[in-house]
Amino acid sequence: MSWIAEVSAIALAAILAITLHEAAHGYAAKWLGDDTAERAGRLSLNPLRHVDPVGTLIVPGMLLATQMLTIGRVEAMFGWAKPVPVDIWRLRNPRWGMVLVAAAGPGINFALAWGFGIAAHGVEALADSLPLAVTEWLLRFVAISMLVNVVLACFNLLPIPPLDGGRILVGILPAPAARAVASLERAGLLIVLGLIFVLPSLVPGFNPLGWLLAHVALPVLRAIFILSGN
């Protein structure tokens, strides 16, 4: 498969995963009583509505170009979309409503991973009637989509605000502990970037992203493969 085909499969898989992740937050919030995302025009499956210039374009683009030019393949990717606005006090049950809104994003990614696993059977059934290059691209796209959705879901479930896992943790902890965790939100992105990029370069053998992939995302991916009949 050419590098153009590989990049197109990765890009499309990432766009779908991120767009539906963000849209799920907005739809969950609306269902639970908050129409802030709808009024902001974020209840949309249009990827452009969810683009963050730095997190969606510049950072992933630099990582993609650097890896393709140096090692000829993509081994790691990182980025983020523009957060969907949610007014917690407009939710019918602010505490548990926010937990459900936060969980909706990873939830849709797990569902998408399973759906792509089912779709793989359809591609295989049509293989004899499709050009070989098309079949190869579709199977590669399905495999990448399953991986991207699982990794995105597992990463977002890390218990660090403003990641979804952090907001879920704030919702289920007792008030004093919840306030302490919530206070990390302003520095949350810096904490995440430090864990992924800074500390691994300073501490030999420290690779939290690799640990997450090997010990969380890949076991989940194997389980989804089994559940989708692969």
Instruction: Report the catalytic residues.
Output: 22
The span from the CA of 101 to the CA of 32, in Å, is 8
Residue spans of beta strands (DSSP E) within the chain: none
Q: Which amino acid is at 99?
A: V
Give the whole-angstrom CA distance, residue 210 versus residue 196: 9
Instruction: State the DSSP string of 160-197.
Output: -TTSHHHHHHHHHS-HHHHHHHHTTHHHHHHHHHIIII
How far is Cα 104 from Cα 50, in angstroms, rounded to an integer?
16
The sign of the dihedral angle between the CA atoms of 197, 198, 201, 203 is: negative
The Cα–Cα gap between 62 and 44 comes to 27
Residue 72 backbone zone (phi > 0: left; psi -120 to 50: alpha; other: beta): left
